């Protein structure tokens, strides 16, 4: 089976930190691309950060989270993480873990930033109060 399960969301004050965890099944973790997305009701889902399976992972980030969010993975635990610091009220959203096996070839390498993600978790809610 291919599945991912998120955890770690919660309610925090602005300026605080959280660590989101996504535990993947072995088949899910074997996918080339892993990513975190977020969505606010009434708005389109947006990609927050991506990481690939190979080498240093080549992490990518949305401009709105650069310098505050860090994506990482632990091969031994089949887990994907999103460390979030300096939280802002506008970070309030449902955060989703997703995996996919179709990176896009761009700039001479395979990229996960615009990959198709086929498998999704149920999400974990992050709420930031001012």
Q: What pLDDT, in 10s, does the model give residues 12-62? A: 999 999 999 999 999 999 999 999 999 999 999 999 999 998 777 889 999
Task: Give 17-27 pLDDT, tens digit per residue.
Answer: 999 999 999 99
> So what's the pLDDT on residue 56?
79
Distance CA 126, CA 91 (A): 7
Distance CA 4, CA 121 (A): 5
For the chain, what is the mean pLDDT?
95
Contact partners, residue 113, CB within 8 Å, separation at least 6: 47, 50, 60, 104
> So what's the pLDDT on residue 54?
78
Q: Is 111 exposed, middle or buried (0-12, 13-18, 19+ CB in 10 A)?
A: middle
Tell me what the mean pLDDT of segment 115-119 comes to: 94
Q: Return the SS3 of 101.
A: coil
* Percent of the chain residues past pLDDT 90, beyond the cut: 86
Confidence check: pLDDT of 64 > 90:
yes
Contact partners, residue 44, CB within 8 Å, separation at least 6: none
């Amino acid at each position: 089976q291919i599945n991912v399960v998120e955890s770690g969301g919660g309610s925090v004050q602005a300026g605080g930190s959280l660590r989101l965890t996504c535990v993947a099944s072995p088949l899910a973790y074997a996918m080339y691309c892993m990513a975190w997305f977020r969505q606010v009701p009434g708005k389109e889902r947006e990609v927050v950060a991506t990481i690939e399976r190979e080498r240093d992972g080549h992490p990518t980030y949305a401009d709105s989270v650069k310098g505050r969010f860090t994506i990482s993975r632990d091969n031994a635990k089949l887990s994907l993480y999103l460390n979030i610091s300096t939280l802002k009220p506008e970070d309030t959203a449902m955060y989703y873990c997703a995996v996919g096996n179709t990176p896009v070839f761009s700039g001479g390498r395979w990229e996960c930033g615009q990959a198709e993600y086929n498998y999704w978790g149920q999400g974990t809610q992050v709420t930031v109060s001012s």
